[in-house]
Homo-oligomer: A and B are copies of this chain.
């Protein structure tokens, strides 16, 4: 296992529209994607791109709003009505190797490997096995030098 890019941090919000205003008007973000639904995950998502020293290829902020009461984000917002930090996502070169690695370490994996918001395979690891952090593992998008945009 080799640590890859911190692709994004997931931030739950009761309103992506309000979060976009917050990041654009208050925090001065200039590069925010159009929100889109991921009905199979029960969420609407949107990415705030952050700068590095040379471009906008920094760790993204993934805004996540529940689509309905069955969404996995719904329970999080019940406990944290304003929203807040929900998960971290690290890239790996090979999702199957990574899954086998964590399985071999007896880490609980939450469901099957599936296609994530960047179009590459992902899975989630149980926060209680990950020092309290819900952790997403995502295969690096090909031909994008790890940018994940």
Contact residues of A with B, CB < 8 Å?
1-6, 9, 11-13, 18-19, 22-23, 26-30, 48, 50-53, 57-59, 61, 80, 82-85, 88, 90, 105, 107, 127-128, 130-133, 145-147
Contact = CB atoms under 8 A, between A and B. Distances in A.
Contact of A19 (B3, B48, B107, B131): B131
A57 B131 CA distance: 24
How many identical chains are in the complex? Answer: 2
21 contacts: A2-B28, A2-B30, A3-B23, A3-B27, A3-B29, A3-B30, A3-B50, A5-B52, A6-B9, A6-B50, A6-B61, A12-B132, A22-B130, A26-B105, A50-B90, A53-B146, A59-B59, A80-B132, A82-B131, A84-B131, A85-B132
